[in-house]
Amino acid sequence: MTDLTATPQRPWLDATLPVDERVDLLMAQMTLAEKVGQTHQVANIDPSADAETIRAGRISSSLYASGATGGNERDDGVLVGNIDAAQRHAVEGSRLGIPILFGRDVIHGHRTVAPIPLGLAASFDTDIAEQVGEIAAREAAVDGVAWTFTPMVDISEEPRWGRVAESLGETPVLSGRLAASIVRGFQGPHPSDADRIAACAKHFAGYGLAAGGRDYDTVSVGENTLRNLHLRPFKAAVEAGVHTVMAAFNDVDGTPMHAHEHLIREVLKGEWGFDGVVVADWNGIGQIVFQGVAADNREAAALAIHAGIDLDMVSGSYLAHLEELVESGEVDVALVDDAVRRVLRLKFRLGLFERPYAARPGAVNAPTPETRAVALRAAQAAHVLVKNDGVLPLDPSAGSVLLSGPFVDEGEALLGTWTLDGRGEDVVSPASALRERLGDRLDVSDGRFSDRTLQQARRTERTVLLLGEHPSRSGEANSVTDIRLPHGQLDVLRAVAGLGKPVVAVVYTGRPLDLSEVLDLADAVVVVWHPGVEAGNALASVLFGDAEPRGRLPMTFPLTTGHIPTSTHQRPTGRLIRADVDLDEGRYLDALTYARLPFGFGLSYTSVDYSPPTVSTPTITPDGTVTLTVTVTNSGERPCREVVQLYFRDPVAQVTRPLVELTDWALVALEPGQAREVTFDVQAEQFAYAGRDLTARVDEGEIVLLTGPDSARLQPVSITVRTHS
């Protein structure tokens, strides 16, 4: 049994001391080689092959390893169950006994897989996001995972870019608030609790601007746009206490992010006071060489440590070169100390020195009824109804249904793009959930375009067609040039719709798609993303109206691929392009320019009316608050959960500002016929932006506040910001 109590030789083990004091005590004992060891992360640690390196204090962290005990090898060659064996070498075999930090991608659930992050974002629900994070942390901790690489808060206007699946949408406020909730869910109030793990805001910064939507591509953006858009959700995550931030693969205006001293060391660590760990992305330091900005890994290591990358994910450049770079005077040891201090701070904060081993005899992390209930709520809340001619909700007692399409019997494919631990057999498929309700009135086909499918559709009264993309078409390195449905799917829809019977199209996707023809042909359309383990139950409950559809689009759905990039925060040009006025005066010769489905859009099974907004005062000071009130009335016959959205426009500023920008929202439950007054306390600070000198400012002058059910159906009220009333 390891003795983890403080001794005169190991005073840093005294858990009653403040963390920074413990870090100082430990660092005072460390050799340069041991310090450099704390900046090195390996993939798939192997307690046998890596034993000597661990004992020399030369491995700080491990990526991907999972499973506390019982080490064995899986088919794919990945070692599992080795965490405690590797940890024992570090804690009991190394000179200073510094524990290893085990990280793994737990992106949208661990074993209980929830909707992909873009789906979670569609819920606009911070409570659900936090609960999903909390469950994922608890389950991952059982497998020995102490740190994960989520949330991804890259803002993107690029549906071709597959990684939008992992994002929280296109607006900084939605992305930032959900990120803060996810961080709270993973880390909790005390990240040293056994059921909590560290989170990571990624990828800092500008990754969502990859040219042409090609993953990893170059990024050309000015600092004003970065500050007014792309950096904001990172700042929100930092303010929520996120322990780590991951650097992005891309360059920003010529400087690789892994070498970007200004944005990482000066802005993130300096200006924002972030005192956690900046981790490289996979071989991100080595990639500076591929980017042609360093001749070799030695030079890349020097650039990265100057920039403020604290932990080298797998490139080995720090381990190989940092000592020598310090000894030659090319790198100040203070830079290494800064990195080591941050890594050790995190290890102390996580309680690893007190609780280095993960084994918890008897602990299980398979989905339970309780965790499934959260996954179900999350998946239901992610369903976005984008068209309904009245065919939904389906009446379970009326007639037969054909369920058709490539996802009918799927398990694994409905988990989504980024899950290492979800299991296909844990997924409730659409066919099984619908069969439970309809019994032998359900007919099922695989959706291939065939006479058989058509014959089945002729025999049944309604068709539910499951369309969309397999998750392997979205996520990292999965970009596309065309956001229409995969080949053949529209042919089936056309043929089935041609029969003249009601057709409901259900769209599984990791990105906004060109749904124009689907919207024209189907009687109802529901976008469900990749929903996770409760996929089938969530779908059945929404289709039959046990759960009301309440999701809203967290990204704009463009008219066609050619319209990309599109977003709600479009800025004005010298030629007016107000979507509400100039629909016919498009910017293209061959198409109109409005979005097919705007940001924030989604229907319920009822109708909701909005009153014009009113404000408590027409003028506020730059540090003041105004209360905006809007009355929403459920004018239909079913209950709903309305996402009441608040936007603003700053008509005259130092730099071009978005035509509308989401600044707040409220989730409001309404019974049929019920009216509710919804109030927003709006602080003038919410209108702050980076001006021409890049510093934050709130201007005097008019601000237009706008409320409505989505970014395209808004009613305005103006206020004035004035220093003296």
Which residues in this chain contact ligand NOJ in the complex, by CB under 6 A? 105, 149, 202, 281-282, 476
**Kind plus residue range of the DSSP H or E element containing 641:** strand 640-649
State the minimum distance, in angstroms, from the CB of residue 216 to ligand NOJ.
9
Residue 154 or 523: the one with the smaller Cβ distance to ligand NOJ is: 154
State the minimum distance, in angstroms, from the CB of residue 653 to ligand NOJ.
34
State the minimum distance, in angstroms, from the CB of residue 178 to ligand NOJ.
17
Residue 313 or 428: the one with the smaller Cβ distance to ligand NOJ is: 313
State the minimum distance, in angstroms, from the CB of residue 149 to ligand NOJ.
3
Pairing, β 503-508 against β 462-468? parallel
Instruction: Report the distance separating Cα 214 and Cα 158, nearest Å.
Output: 9
* Cβ neighbourhood burial of 298 (10 Å; 0-12, 13-18, 19+): middle
Instruction: Report the distance separating Cα 544 and Cα 437, nearest Å.
Output: 9
In this structure, what token pair is assigned to residue 91?
A: 């804690």
State the minimum distance, in angstroms, from the CB of residue 281 to ligand NOJ.
5
Residue 282 or 544: the one with the smaller Cβ distance to ligand NOJ is: 282
Instruction: Report which of 600, 611, 496 is spatially closest to residue 550, judged by C-alpha positions.
Output: 600
State the minimum distance, in angstroms, from the CB of residue 478 to ligand NOJ.
12
Instruction: Report which of 229, 224, 111, 123 is spatially closest to residue 176, judged by C-alpha positions.
Output: 229
Instruction: Report the distance separating Cα 33 and Cα 88, nearest Å.
Output: 20
Instruction: Report the distance separating Cα 203 and Cα 173, nearest Å.
Output: 17
State the minimum distance, in angstroms, from the CB of residue 567 to ligand NOJ.
22
Please name the residues in contact with 204: beta carbons below 8 A apart, sequence gap of 6 or more: 234, 245, 246, 247, 248, 257, 263, 264, 268, 278
Residue 310 or 710: the one with the smaller Cβ distance to ligand NOJ is: 310
Three-state secondary structure readout of 422-464: CCHHHCCCHHHHHHHHHHHHEEEECCCCCHHHHHHHHHCCEEE
Residue 149 or 610: the one with the smaller Cβ distance to ligand NOJ is: 149
State the minimum distance, in angstroms, from the CB of residue 152 to ligand NOJ.
7
- Count the residues in the chain: 725
In this structure, what token pair is assigned to residue 50?
A: 């890596």
In this structure, what token pair is assigned to residue 280?
A: 């490289």
Residue 249 or 529: the one with the smaller Cβ distance to ligand NOJ is: 249
State the minimum distance, in angstroms, from the CB of residue 78 to ligand NOJ.
12
Cβ proximity of 225 and 570 under 8 Å: no
Instruction: Report the distance separating Cα 178 and Cα 185, nearest Å.
Output: 10
Residue 108 or 552: the one with the smaller Cβ distance to ligand NOJ is: 108
Cβ proximity of 372 and 112 under 8 Å: yes
CB atoms under 10 Å from CB of 138, counted, come to 22
Residue 272 or 282: the one with the smaller Cβ distance to ligand NOJ is: 282
CB atoms under 10 Å from CB of 274, counted, come to 25
State the minimum distance, in angstroms, from the CB of residue 148 to ligand NOJ.
8
Q: Tokens 């540090």, residue?
A: 623
Instruction: Report the distance separating Cα 647 and Cα 497, nearest Å.
Output: 38
Task: Indicate if 281 belongs to the active site.
Answer: yes
Sign of CA dihedral 478, 566, 235, 714: negative
Pairing, β 442-445 against β 401-404? parallel
Residue 239 or 476: the one with the smaller Cβ distance to ligand NOJ is: 476
Helices (H) and strands (E) in the chain, counts: 20, 29
Q: Which residues of 304-343 are buried (b: 16+ CB within 10 A; e: fewer)?
A: bbbbbbbbbbbbbbbbbbbbebbeeeebebebbeebbbbb
Compute the CA torsion angle 487, 490, 493, 499 (nearest 10 deg): -120
State the minimum distance, in angstroms, from the CB of residue 139 to ligand NOJ.
18
143, 154, 281, 650: the active-site residue: 281
State the minimum distance, in angstroms, from the CB of residue 283 to ligand NOJ.
9
* Cβ neighbourhood burial of 433 (10 Å; 0-12, 13-18, 19+): buried
Instruction: Report which of 106, 52, 55, 102 is spatially closest to residue 80, judged by C-alpha positions.
Output: 102
DSSP characters for 46-58?
Answer: -TTTTHHHHHTT-
State the minimum distance, in angstroms, from the CB of residue 185 to ligand NOJ.
18
Residue 300 or 526: the one with the smaller Cβ distance to ligand NOJ is: 300
Residue 26 or 219: the one with the smaller Cβ distance to ligand NOJ is: 219
Residue sitting closest to ligand NOJ (CB): 149
Instruction: Report which of 389, 384, 385, 383 is spatially closest to residue 501, judged by C-alpha positions.
Output: 389
Three-state secondary structure readout of 232-297: HHHHHHHHCCCCEEEECCCEECCEEHHHCHHHHHHHHHHHCCCCCEEECCCCCCCHHHHCCCCCCH
**Kind plus residue range of the DSSP H or E element containing 628:** strand 625-634
Residue 200 or 540: the one with the smaller Cβ distance to ligand NOJ is: 200
Residue 149 or 594: the one with the smaller Cβ distance to ligand NOJ is: 149
Residues with catalytic roles: 281
